[in-house]
Amino acid sequence: MEHNEFEMTSGPRATSDATTAPKTLPRVPDEEMRPLSPRSSITVRERATTTLGRKAWPLLVVAFYTGIALTAWIFLCILSKRPIWGEKSYYRAENWDSKDYARVNRKYVKAAHILKSVVALLTIPVTSAICSMAAAGYMQHGNLRKSLNLRQIIALADQGWISKKILVYLMEAGSLPLYLAFALMIIGIATQIMQEAFVDQESIKSATYYGGRSIQVKDIPSMFDPKLEDSSTVQIHQLRSILDSATLKDWDANLWNENVDKYRELTSQALGYMANAESNIPFVAELPSNFSTGVIGPQYAPRISSNTSFAEITQDEYNTGCRNETETGGFYAEYKSAGRSAYSLTACMSGNQHISPWNRTRDRQDITEDLYLQFEAYSIRIYKITVKTTLGYFELPSYHNGNKPGPILEKDPLLVDSDQKKYRYKRAVDSNSTFAGRDSLLSLNNKGPLLAVALSLFGKGSFLESRTSNPNSYNTTDSTLQCTGLVPMSFMDRSACLRPSDASSQAWSFLSSISNNWLDNLPVAMFLANKLWIGPGSPLAYHDTVTVNYDFGIDTIKPKISNVGIILGSIFLGFHLIGLWLLAAYTVITRPWAKTLGAETMLRVGIHYSEALDGLEKKEWNKVIETLPGFIGDASPDAPVGKIRMGASAPLRTDRKYEPL
């Protein structure tokens, strides 16, 4: 083919001087856009318009987040103090059987932890979404928006408050919306961290039965009943028997001290011999030392403790302190024997011992007793024994105090409103005004422990008295017997066994044991005397006792939050939620021109600034974006339809239509 072009003509050929057509058609103004011809089907599309509509979903998002955040935190705080369902306390049941309620509350604890995990997952995305919506509203509202530049808008669109370049953004592209979003995000994250740090979970015992179970113990005021005098005499005989048979290896459940797990034997160390501090002195209580009231507390019971000391004194000191005052209520015993095994002993407690040193009260009481001993076996020895005894009430171990006994209380703990039923004492104190020598002291009710031991060892019917007054009844000559009896208070020492001998030799063995080990074992004797008086085996009637309630409970779980943790966690959570609600309300009021300051919005901004940013290098780019306006407004405030444009100074209004950016 010689010619590849074809010409289409209609009419005469164009002359050479005809004007050539322009290469491009002139742009038709927007307001003149119309159909190309009355019969043409091709039209120019009219520009779309939009209004600033109110969007309620930010409030719905914040409301949902607030609901689960408050529910989780409130549940955890309440559950840390008491159950939500059924009972008002973990440690006091108001229903006959609370086991079902405990299972329901375990489900509440589990649900609260699940909600807390959901809140932790939603904190960052919810906060970022609300801040991004508020930033879009800030671009169009108020005069402060005019300080925004394009670089700051890019930082907001990049959600710089959670970006790894946050420090760069804060220093180089900081703006009020960025600062507020960063602060709110920090508060939200700190809230979750603090709640996670403050909230722990612990396994506890919760109450199972209404009122728990109960046990009766002695009540000190009720022990002054005159009908108990017969039992006081019996206690002296019981004490003699125990002092003969007890050993230092005996385990006693009524021995209480701080090291009860280490010391349970009746040794001088276990009984706090020569203790330096009152808190280290063991004491006697009617209940066993491993007893606990469980979930119920506080509960109180009597206790008694004695601290023993002795010293060798001079004859003058002995003569001053020891007097025969049996006619006026004192205790005085004197025994002598001549012959090959000669011995002598004098024991006395001056003053009116026929009146009990104890008072009818639950307040703390302290007494001091002195016993003077002068005896001769190998040589003459003179001792003064001093026993300081404390009587009162103490708080029993429970789960609330770490299952440890409380200290002795100065005042009556049962005077306040207490669920411990107790005998309300009204009787007057009865005292015997006649003094029939030391024999009448046997029936004295509520003796001091040292007097009880002195009567057991040196009173009528004692080991020494019986062998001195009736020696023929105790003479044994059968050499085949290895042991005819036990020396009192020897506690199975090597010299505790009596060999076949006469009564005088047996008494001499007893006196010689005093200086060898007898005095060192006085704390054991005081413990045994105190136990017989206030320990188990009470002759009191039910209405004369104190009721101790106990409930060992069932295993359950609960959150563990301190009061400081509750306060701080609530404050930070409140700040975070208030900030979210303020930003959500601001978003609804301002009606942002864009849903969020996200990728779609920045695409429109980029198209708007395409000519200004086209072909720029990095340095020039950074300079230019700091000069380009980052706010938005109405470019045609007087026209019927406004135009949303970057850098327009007129603010957007909610009652107008706009051409979008």
Rounded to two decimals, the pTM is 0.65
Burial class (CB within 10 angstroms; exposed 0-12, middle 13-18, buried 19+) of 274: exposed
At residue 18, the pLDDT reads 37
* The Cα angle at residue 136 between residues 130 and 141, in degrees rounded to 5: 115
Residues 337 and 508: their CA atoms lie apart, in Å, by 9
CA nearest to 568, candidates 580, 559, 576: 576
At residue 57, the pLDDT reads 85
CA nearest to 123, candidates 568, 573, 566: 573
At residue 309, the pLDDT reads 92
**DSSP-derived pairing of the beta strands 300-312 and 380-395:** antiparallel
Taking residue 425's Cβ as centre, other Cβ atoms within 10 Å add up to: 18
Block means of pLDDT (10 residues each) for the chain, length 661 residues? 38 39 42 47 60 80 95 90 74 65 82 92 92 85 78 77 69 80 91 90 77 83 72 83 80 76 52 49 90 88 93 93 85 82 86 90 96 86 94 92 91 77 48 42 87 91 82 66 72 63 74 74 89 77 78 83 92 94 90 78 80 76 77 80 79 77 69
> With contact defined as beta carbons under 8 Å apart, do 304 and 530 qualify?
yes
pLDDT per residue over 299-335, tens digit each? 999 999 999 999 999 999 999 999 888 888 889 999 8
At residue 644, the pLDDT reads 78
Residues 502 and 473: their CA atoms lie apart, in Å, by 9
User: Which residues, including other chains, have CB under 8 Å from residue 82's CB and lie 6 or more apart?
Assistant: 88, 89, 90
Residue ranges in 164-271 assigned as alpha helix (H): 166-172, 176-198, 229-245
Taking residue 174's Cβ as centre, other Cβ atoms within 10 Å add up to: 15
| SS3 (DSSP) at 589 | helix
Sequence spans of domains, the chain:
57-206+557-627, 213-550
Following DSSP, what letter does each residue of 372-389 receive, concatenated?
EEEEESSSEEEEEEEEEE
**DSSP-derived pairing of the beta strands 343-349 and 365-376:** antiparallel
At residue 281, the pLDDT reads 76
User: Which residues, including other chains, have CB under 8 Å from residue 479's CB and lie 6 or more apart?
Assistant: 500
> With contact defined as beta carbons under 8 Å apart, do 254 and 459 qualify?
no
Residues 80 and 90: their CA atoms lie apart, in Å, by 10
User: Which residues, including other chains, have CB under 8 Å from residue 259's CB and lie 6 or more apart?
Assistant: none
Residues 167 and 161: their CA atoms lie apart, in Å, by 9
**Residue written as token pair 């942002």:** 592
